[in-house]
Amino acid sequence: MSVKELAATINDIAIRGKGILAADESKPTIAKRFASIDVENNEEHRRAYRELLFTTPGMEEFISGVILFEETLSHKAADGTPFPKLLAAKGVVPGIKVDRGTIPLTNSEGDKVTQGLDGLGERLQNYKQQGARFAKWRSIYPISAVNPRRLAMQTNAEVLARYAAICQENGIVPIVEPEVLIDGDHTIERCEEVSEEVLFNVFAALHRHHVSFEHMILKPSMVIAGKSCSQQSNVDEVAKATIRVLLRTVPGSVATINFLSGGQTEQQATAHLNAMHRLGVTLPWNLSFSYARALQAPCLKTWQGKPENVKPAQEIFYKRAKLNGAASCGEYETSME
C-alpha cells in the first residue's frame, strides 16, 4: 500500500465546498436517461454528453472528482484530449466504476450481491495507467419486511471490504457505496434501522480486511422514507436521522462521506445535505455529495442532444454544482434556486 499516494488522492478530493460528480452510468442506465430526451444511445452521443459535463467552465470550483464508466475512461474530447487528462488539467481527480453489477443472492430471496472481484487487481492497474486515481463499488440493499436479510448484509460487506483492500493495495482510493434503496413503502424509522445495521456490518468487514479508513471514501444513502410511504419525512427529520446513524457507525478517521442522491429530486438532495450541516453537531468527517441525477437531470433535459444547447446545459450543470457546493458548507438557501 502506497500511503503517500492514497493520502494525496484523499487530500485532492476531500475539500470543503466540493463534491464528486458520478458520471459512471452504464450503457443500459444512460440509455434510459437518453430515452427520456429522445436521444439515441450510441457511443458518440455518450462521449459528447460527457464532454459537455467535463468542459463546463468553472465546474472545478465545486467538483473535486469525477467517477467515470470504463468506456468513458478511454474517450477523448473533440480536440483529442483524453478525458482523464482533461479533468486532471482542471484539478479534478478522475475515478472509475469497477463493479460488474448485481445478481440475486442465493438463499437470500429478494436480496442481491455485487460481482466483479475476479481480476480486479489487474484491471485497476490498467485503469491507473489511464489516469484513474480512485474507484467505486456499489452494493444495494432493498428494504421490505424481511429484506435485507442478515446473509445479504454480511455477504455484501465482505465483498465491499475485499474490493477496498484490493484498491488500496494498488494505490487506488476506494469509494465504498452501500446503497439502501429508496424504493418501497418503508418508514424512515425502518430505513434508519436497516442503515445502521448495514453500516455496522460494512465497517466490521473493512476492519477485518485491514482497510485504512483514512484512505477511503464512504458513499452512503441518506436515511429517508420509501417513495411509496404514506408518511414522508421533512428535511430536518432526514438530516437528524442520517447524522444519528453515521455517528453511531462510521469511525471518525474516515476522511470524507459523500452521499448518493438515491432517487431524490435535485432540490431534495441539496436541501437534505444542507440541513445536516445546520444541525449544530460537530462532525468528524468532511460531509459532501457524490450525485449523478441530482447534478445532471436539469442539464440533460436542457441539452436534448443538440449542439446549440451545450452552453445553456453547461450553465445549468454549473448552477447545480454551485448549489450543492454551498449545501456541503451549510450555506444553501432555497431562494438560490
| Strands (E) located in 15-152 | 19-23, 63-68, 93-97, 102-104, 112-114, 134-141
Q: Which three cell numbers stand for residue 170?
A: 494498488
Closest CA to 202 of 164, 229, 239: 164
Long-range contacts (CB closer than 8 Å, 24 or more residues apart) made by 261-264 = 261/289, 261/291, 261/292, 261/293, 261/294, 262/179, 262/180, 262/181, 262/182, 262/221, 262/222, 262/224, 263/181, 263/182, 263/183, 263/227, 264/182, 264/222, 264/224, 264/294
Question: Per the residue annotation, which of 177, 192, 240, 266 is the catalytic one?
Answer: 177
Query: How far lies 182's CA from each of 168, 186, 237, 269, 286, in Å?
Result: 30, 9, 16, 13, 24
Q: Which three cell numbers stand for residue 275?
A: 440541513
* Residue 38: alpha-carbon gap to chain centroid: 26
Per-residue cell: 26: 452504464
Q: Say whether 4 is catalytic.
A: no
Please report, as a single letter, which amino acid is at residue 324. N
219 is known as an active-site residue = yes
Q: 97, 112, 136, 219: which one is catalytic?
A: 219
Residues catalogued as catalytic? 177, 219
